[in-house]
Chains A and B, each alone.
Chain A
Amino acid sequence: MNVVFALLLGVCTVNAQDNLAQRDTTKILEEIKVKAKGKKKIKTDMKLAVSVDEFLASSQSISFIKRGAYAWEPLLNNMSSERSSITIDGMHVFGACTDKMDPITSYVETNNLSTVDIKSGQEGNLHGATVAGSIDLQRKSTAFGLDKKVTGSYQTGFEFNNKQHFNLADMSYSGNRFVADGSISFRKAKNYHSGDNKEVKHSQFNKFNSSIGLAYKTGERSALRIDAIYDKAKDVGFPALPMDLWLSRALITSASYKQIFEDNIIQFWDTKVYYNTIEHYMDDTTRPENLVHMDMPGWSTTYGLLSKIALKRGRLTSEVQLNAYDNLSIAEMRMYPQDRSKRTMFAYSWPWITTRFAGLSTSNSLDLSDKSHLTFGGSLGWNYNYSKYVEFNKIFYPDAPQKKNSILPSLHASYHVNVARFDFSVGSGYGHRAPSISESYGYYIYNSFDRYDYIGNPHLKNEISYEINATAGYKSNKMGIQAKVNYFYIQDYIVGRILSMGSPMNYQSVGVKGYTALDHANILNLAISTNYDILPHLHWKGTITYARATDGQRGNLPFIRPLSYQTSLHYMYKRFGIQTSLNGDAVQRDYSPEYGEDKTPAYQIWNASADYVLPIQKVNATLQIGAENILDTYYSTYADWGNIPRMGRNIFTSLKINF
C-alpha cells in the first residue's frame, strides 16, 4: 500500500520523477490499453474505500474548503478552485452553482477513476490556463485483449457516525476488438455528529453515480471510444450555508479517436470531442428560519475539443495539445416576498455568461544525460467572455463591455538531476489566468463566510503568476525523505473588497463587496515527507506542510493552511494489516480577519484501522474496520466554512472484492 501511495505522490506536483519521461518508453505502445488493469489506486493510507474528496485530501498539495460533508472545494497550493484547472480526462466541466457547492470533483466517483493527476503551477497548463496547477481526474479505461476478459470489483461499507452506507460496483469486459467499462454507485448518509456528539443539522447527502465507456478497435493501431458519466445528488445538506441542495445532475460525455503510429516521430494522436451539462438547484425550504424564500437554480453546458499528439525524437519527448471549449453558465435568483401574492423578485446571478477558450500547449522532456533531464513547456490561449445580459453588470460598472478577449501565455521549465541517492530539481514558471465568471460577471453572489454580497468586476485584468519551485530528496532501501517548496508571486491577485456603493440584496448579508485586484500576492508552500521501514513489515511515514501567503502589504490571505502534520504507522502480518495515524494543524497564527476569518485553534486527530484479506480463492476480498477521530475531538479547521465542526468519532467498515 505504501508503494501505491508513494507512486501517487510521485505523480503529484513537482517531482524528480516526471511521469512524462516514464511514459515514453513502455507506455506509448500500450496507450491503447491505457492504464491497463492496474491495481486500484484510489484509496488512502487509512481507508480502502474512500470518497473522491477523501482521496484528494491525502495529497499534500491539496486542502479543502468544507461547507458540509459533501462536495468539498479543493484548494491546490492553497489557492481557490478558480485558480486551478480541474478537468476530467482533460475535459473542462464547470460547476453550475454560484456558491461553489458543486466542484467538478463532486461529479465523479472513485470507482470510475483510475487515478488523479495533480500538477503544481504552470506545469499543469496542458489542459488550459492555470495559476495554481491542475487536477486531472483520469477515468478508468480497460485495455484491449486482456487475458482475463471480465474483471470487476464491488465495495460496500457503513460508517457509523453519519450512518453512511455505500455500494460501489464496476465491471469491465476486454475483448480483442471491443472493450466495455461500466460502474454504478450509491452513497447515502444522514447528518453527522461533531466531537461533542451534537448532530450537525443539514449535513446529509445522497449520491448516485454511474458511468459507461465503450471502445472499439477500428484498425490495428486505432480505436474509437465513447464515454459517459451520469451523476445525481439529491437532498444534500450544506450546514455552513443558508441553503441546501435539492438536486444536481451532471451528464459528462465524450467521444475520442486515437491513432498510434509506429516507428515514427509521432507516437500517437488522440482527438476527443466532448459535451457536458450540469443542472444545480438549491433549496431553502428545509430552513424555515430563513426570512426570505429563494430559488437559485443554475445551469452549465460545455462543448469542447481536445487533440493531443505525442512526439519522440532521440532524447526529446513532447506532447502538443489543442484545447477548445465553449461554456454557457446561467444562474438565477428569485426571491419570494413575504406576501406571496405579490410579485417575486428576480435577477441573474450569472447573466448568461459564455466563455470560449482555445489554446495550444506543449510539454517536453529532454534527457540531458542518464542522470539529468530538463522539462519545459508553454501554452498560448485565447479566452473570450460574453455576457448576454450585460445590463446587470453595468449597474455597478456602467462602462462594462459585453465582450472581453484576453490572451493567456504560459511558460515553465525545470531541471531534474539524480546524484547517487539524492535527487534535486529546480523550476520556474510564468503564466496568466483570466478572471472566473463570478469574478468578472457575478451579480450579488452571497458569500456566507464573510457575509457579503459579491459583485463581479468586468474590468479585472488577468492574474499573472511568477513561480519558482524546488525539490530535494534522498532515498535508500529503508528510508526516504523529500522536501518540496514553491513560491508564487502573483500580480493583480483577485480578491473581494468592500464597495462603498450599493446595498445588500440577501438578507443575511452585511454589505457589498466587489472583486478587485491586489497589486500582488505572495504564496509560499513547503512540504517535507519521510518514510522509514522500521522492520520489514512495519513502516512509518510522516509529513509536515507549511504555507504562508500575504497580500503584499503584510496582510494575510484567507484559507491558507497553518502548519500541519501527519504521522502514520503501518504494520503488516500475513493477511492482516494495521495502521494508525495522527494528524493535526497548529494554531492558525496568520489568519485574515479582513476576509472573515478568525483564529482557528490547533487540533489533533487520531485514527486507526485494521484490514484482513479473506482466504478465498480466485477473488481478492478485503475486509476493513477502523475509526477516525478515535478520541472524539471537537474541532473545526481553518477552511471549514463558518467554523462548522468536523465529524466526531467515526467507526467505519468496508468490504472490497476484486475479481
Chain B
Amino acid sequence: MEKIILFLTVLCCTLSSCTKEKTDYEAEIDTIVPERIEFKEVTNFKSGNYTIRIEALGGQLYKGYNQIRLKIEAPDQPAPSTVTLLPILTDSQGKISSCPHRYEQLYQAEEGYFEGYVVFTEESRNTSHWDLHIGFTAAEQLHSNSQRIQVRPQDNKNLNMTSFTGNDGEQYFIALIAPQKPKVAENNLTAGIYKYNKPKALSSSSTIDPAQFSYSQVEGYTLQLDPRMPEPSMGNHSSPNNKDLVQGTDKLYHGVVNYTMTGNWTLNFILLNHQGRIVKGTVVPNDFTPGVEGIKSELHIDILF
C-alpha cells in the first residue's frame, strides 16, 4: 500500500508540473525598464578648498529630466550659499545653448545638499558636449566652475521628453518625470513643462550670461492626455479613467494614466494655456481601427514598458 501511495505521489508531481511556465510579470517589466532609486555621485571636482560633488539617480545623467544634488564640502570653511547651476551645450560650430534647469539651487538643510534639476535636451556626442557651470558664494567670495559632464541617451522610454514651438511662438519642453516604471494599472503621471524665456537684449559679452539662458516652469497650463497603443494590431486601443495633467504645488504637472497592458504606448497631448487656448497638439481619432497604426497627436511622447 505504501509503495503504491509513494508511486502515486511521484506520478502526481510529474503530472502536475506545468507544461508552460507562468509569466513573471513584474520581472518582465524590469528587463526593459531600468529603475534608478538611489542618488549616486556623477562626478566631483575641487574649487579652492571646496569639493563639489554632483549627484544624480544612479550616478549618471540622461537625456530628459534629471534631479540633481550638489554637495559642496570643505572642512573648517564657511558654508556656501547662493549656489547656481547652468548647463551649457556647445555644438560642433562652437555655438552655445542651454536647456530647462533650475538656476538657483534650493538648500536642503537637513540633508545638507543643494537641489536642482536639469532637463537635458540632447545626449553628449563626439561633436557636441555639455558643461555644468556651477557658481557659489562662500565667505563673500564668488566661486565659478565649469565641469564637463557626459549626458547619456535615455534608456528608459518612460522618462522621454519633447520640445516644440507653441502656437504662441514660444519654445516649450515637456519632460516625463514619473512613473519611472509603470505598471498595468492606474499610474500617477508627472511631467515638467518648461518654457524658454527669450532674452530682452542679446548679449554681446564673451562670457556666459545666465540671462541669455533663462527657463521657467510653465504656470497654470493644462496638459490634456489621451494614451493609446500605436501598434497596428491594437487598433488605436485606449484606456479609461485617465486624468489630464494640471499643475500641483510642486509646480510639476500631475495627472493619471491607465495602461491596460504592457508594450508600446503613445501619450497624446494637447497643451492648453491659462485661457484654454491650444498651444500645441491635435485631437486624435477615437475609432477602433484594427490593422492600422494609430494616428498620433502632433504633440506626443512614446513610452514603453
Contact = CB atoms under 8 A, between A and B. Distances in A.
Nearest to A214: B4
B240 A395 contact: yes
Nearest to B21: A297
A473 to B, nearest CB: 46
A309 interface: no
A277 interface: yes
Contacts of B22: 297, 299, 330, 332
B258 A395 contact: yes
Given A291-B290, A346-B28, A392-B184, A228 B20 contact: no
A275 B264 CA distance: 40
Contacts of B112: none
Interface residues of A, number: 51
A345 B239 CA distance: 14
Contacts of B184: 346-348, 389, 391-392, 395
A337 interface: yes
Given A348-B25, A389-B184, A504-B237, A342 B264 contact: yes
Contacts of A507: 233-235, 290-291
B185 interface: yes
B20 A444 contact: no
Contacts of B232: 338
Contacts of B264: 337, 342-343, 345
A250 B158 CA distance: 41
Interface in B1-50: 1, 4-5, 8, 11-12, 15-16, 18-20, 22-23, 25, 28, 32
A343 B304 contact: yes
A337 B4 contact: no
B239 A279 contact: no
B185 A395 contact: yes
A525 to B, nearest CB: 38
B241 A501 contact: yes
A277 B263 contact: no
A578 to B, nearest CB: 44
B8 to A, nearest CB: 7
A582 interface: no
A112 B292 CA distance: 51
Nearest to A500: B240
Given A279-B20, A345-B261, A346-B25, A503 B238 contact: yes
A281 interface: yes
Contacts of B185: 391-392, 394-395
Nearest to B4: A214
B236 to A, nearest CB: 7
A251 B10 CA distance: 13
A344 to B, nearest CB: 7
Nearest to B256: A398
Say which size band chain B's interface belongs to: 35 or more
Nearest to A295: B20
A342 to B, nearest CB: 7
Interface in A248-289: 249, 251, 253, 275, 277, 279, 281
A633 to B, nearest CB: 36
B262 interface: yes
B233 A396 contact: no
A479 interface: no
Interface string B231-273: 1111111111100000000000000001011111000000000
A391 B233 CA distance: 24
B56 to A, nearest CB: 27
B186 interface: yes
Contacts of B237: 503-505
Interface string A52-95: 00000000000000000000000000000000000000000000
A299 B240 CA distance: 28
A347 B234 CA distance: 13
A296 B8 CA distance: 30
Contacts of B23: 332, 334, 346
Contacts of B183: 391
Nearest to A511: B288
A446 to B, nearest CB: 13
A34 interface: no
A332 B28 CA distance: 13
Interface in A486-530: 499, 501-505, 507-511
A230 interface: yes
A507 B290 CA distance: 6
Nearest to A502: B240
B12 A346 contact: no
Contact of B19 (A247, A392, A444): A247
Nearest to A512: B240
Interface in B199-252: 229, 231-241
Contacts of B28: 346
Contact of B15 (A249, A348, A391): A249
B233 A337 contact: yes
B8 A228 contact: yes
Nearest to A391: B185
B254 to A, nearest CB: 16
A389 to B, nearest CB: 7
B19 A345 contact: no
A235 to B, nearest CB: 14
Contacts of A343: 32, 262-264, 304
B19 A504 contact: no
A292 interface: yes
B18 to A, nearest CB: 5
Shortest Cβ-Cβ A-B pairs, 4 listed = A391-B185, A345-B263, A501-B240, A347-B261
22 contacts: A228-B8, A251-B15, A251-B16, A281-B19, A292-B234, A297-B20, A337-B233, A343-B264, A344-B263, A345-B262, A345-B264, A346-B184, A348-B25, A348-B184, A389-B25, A501-B240, A502-B238, A503-B239, A504-B235, A505-B234, A505-B261, A511-B288
Given A346-B262, A503-B236, A511-B288, 12 more contacts: A226-B8, A251-B16, A279-B19, A279-B20, A281-B19, A297-B22, A343-B32, A343-B263, A343-B264, A343-B304, A346-B28, A507-B290
